[in-house]
Structures are given as C-alpha cells and as structure tokens.
Amino acid sequence: MKDIVFATNNEHKLAELRQIMGQMFHVLSLADIGCHEDIPENEPTIEGNARAKAQYVVEHYGYDCFSDDTGLEIDALGGEPGVHSARYGGVAHDSERNIDKVLRLMDGMPMEQRTAHFRTAICLMMDGDTHLFEGRVDGHILTERHGKGGFGYDSIFRPCEGDGRTFAQMTGEEKNAISHRGRAVARLVAYLLKR
Ligand code: IMP
C-alpha cells in the first residue's frame, strides 16, 4: 500500500481520515515521519497555509502529502476570524477564549446578521503535482454555547442544513456528513479514487 502523509498530529482528524482512506493508503502523521517541529503557517489565506504545510513535508521529508487548513468566516466581522481562527482570542488553540471573543464582538446582533461559514482547504502534493480541494458549510453563530461534542467553535455554530442543533450537539458522523472538512475530504477521496 502506498504511503501518504497527512500533515497533522490531530488524533481526531487522523482517525477520521484513516477510516475513510485506510483501504487505499497507509496514512502517516507528522509524528510517524519524525517531524516534530512547528511547520510555519504564516500565509494570509487558508489555501496558502494548506499549501505551505504540504510543501514543507514534501521538501524536508520527501513523502507525498496532503494537509488541511480551516477557517470560520463570520460575515458581520468582515470574514474574521478566518485564517486567525486557531488563535483569535490571543492564545493558540484556546477554544474557550476564541468563542468568548466572537460572542463579545457579536453581542446584541440579531440572528439574521449572524451568518457565517466554515471553509476547509486541502492541498494534495502527489507525484510532483499540486491539487486544492475546498469544502464549505453555511450557518449561524448562536448567542451562547450549545452542546459538549466536537471542538473549536462547534458549540456556537448551527449549520443551515440540519435540525437546529449545533455541530457540538451532533455525532461525529452527523457532523462529517455536512461539514466543511467532510466535504473537502470527500472531494480529495473522489479524486484519489479516479486517478
Ligand atoms: P485547523 O486549520 O483545522 O487547525 O483549524 C483552525 C482552527 O479553526 C481550530 O483551532 C479551531 O478553532 C477551528 N476549527 C477548525 N475546524 C473546526 C471544526 O470542525 N469545528 C469548529 N472549529 C473548527
């Protein structure tokens, strides 16, 4: 089976991708290839960051690779937090602070002004070629947290498709079926199956 690196150490994402692609590829994490350094993610777009991560692995480790980058884009905040989603509250990967900041900035806004979407970009670098895949889900930012599942901004994001629950109130399968990442991954897998 062909090796492919998924440029992440996020166990949730790895498990998800191994479940979907495990029959086709031996999916390796960054730790699996001995990459323990922080890969720079300083590009101004999620597409740029996805590409930078994949390129780093190809150049430094010589594996075929794909990487993902996700942003929550809130219309009333001019598309923020966007590429800054992971550290919007000032501390990297502190989801509670990130959510607090979003709720504070949107305090008092009516629901019709609380539209937002998640966007995931996946960059695949394989056999010398580069491909980009995108996935998007539209929804609303609620005024308070609902649900304990998921991660990141899931507890304040209610997708338009669905029955009124937030991502944090859904099972993993329910979320993956309509989510930004689920859709981008489906496009990646469709491409890999066709090649
Ligand atoms: P990453 O590019 O996947 O690391 O995502 C950047 C940030 O966006 C994360 O730190 C989370 O705060 C947020 N994020 C990414 N994916 C999701 C998701 O599926 N639900 C909620 N928040 C997410």
Six token digits for residue 182: 């689920």
| Mean pLDDT, range 109-124, rounded to an integer | 98
Best residue among 10, 41, 70 to mutate for probing ligand 1, ranked by most atoms within 8 Å of CB: 70
The predicted structure's pLDDT at residue 11: 86
CB 180 within 8 A of CB 136: yes
The predicted structure's pLDDT at residue 193: 84
Instruction: State the DSSP code for 87.
Output: G
pLDDT tens digits, one per residue of 20-79: 888 889 999 999 999 999 998 899 999 999 999 999 999 999 999 999 999 999 999 999
- CB 8 less than 6 A from any atom of ligand 1: no
The predicted structure's pLDDT at residue 16: 80
Best residue among 72, 96, 140 to mutate for probing ligand 1, ranked by most atoms within 8 Å of CB: 72
- Give the nearest ligand 1 atom to 8 CA: 4
- CB 155 less than 6 A from any atom of ligand 1: no
Collect contacts of 12-21 with beta carbons under 8 A, ≥24 apart. Answer: 12/151, 13/68, 13/181, 16/172, 16/176, 16/181, 16/185, 17/185, 20/185, 20/189, 21/189, 21/192
| Mean pLDDT, range 115-139, rounded to an integer | 97
- Give the nearest ligand 1 atom to 13 CA: 3
> What global pTM score does this model have?
0.93
d(C-alpha 124, C-alpha 118), whole Å: 20
pLDDT tens digits, one per residue of 135-153: 999 999 999 999 999 899 9
- Give the nearest ligand 1 atom to 46 CA: 2
